[in-house]
Structure 1
Amino acid sequence: MYGTAAHNPKENTVNARKPSKPWRLVLSTAGGPVYTTHRSKPAAYRTVDEEKQQVANGSSRVTRIAVDEWDIDGQRWRRYENAWDKNTTTQEPPR
């Protein structure tokens, strides 16, 4: 390396920020995924329960629900949980 200045790895980093809605649902449908974002984990799971109820009522075509969380370090969405799958018979009924 040329020059006398030491390399500081922090100089090239971007300030990692958490989005205002760090929770995301991935609702799988025949037409492709639908994404919704939420401010908190409880809010995301309330929406999971609501969507499962809509599927039970026949008013939603969602077949699978996954929950993602924003990874501050990686600056990307990370899968938190596969919350529900219509084709799995061992799932609990909608609340």
Structure 2
Amino acid sequence: MPLVYATADDFKDKIAKGRVVVDFYADWCAPCRMIGPVLEQIARENEDILVVKVNVDENQSLAVEYGIRGIPALLVFNDAKQVASRAGFMPKDALVDWIKSA
């Protein structure tokens, strides 16, 4: 699956079904730029995982709602229910294991 982008208007729809990883990021954030290609690979290689990116500069209300204090922040949702969260970069294999075990 390709990456998808969400805004405050369509966020709830994007996380409604299945396993969804949400990447709260900013264009100016170096660790965010590092994890971006890793998340793209995960999205392409795992049909059962949807990766949704949320720009915190453009969607501050979502960042506040989900308590985002540092970026990149990754949240895992199962059918709209948040089941895990973490901040910072992770290597791809560790990230996939974390997502699937959430």
Q: TM-score, normalised by structure 2?
A: 0.29
With a CA cutoff of 8 Å and minimum separation of 6, indicate the structure with the bigger relative contact order. 2
The structure whose Rg is larger is 1
Structure with higher helix content: 2
Q: TM-score, normalised by structure 1?
A: 0.30
Report which of the two has the higher share of strand.
1
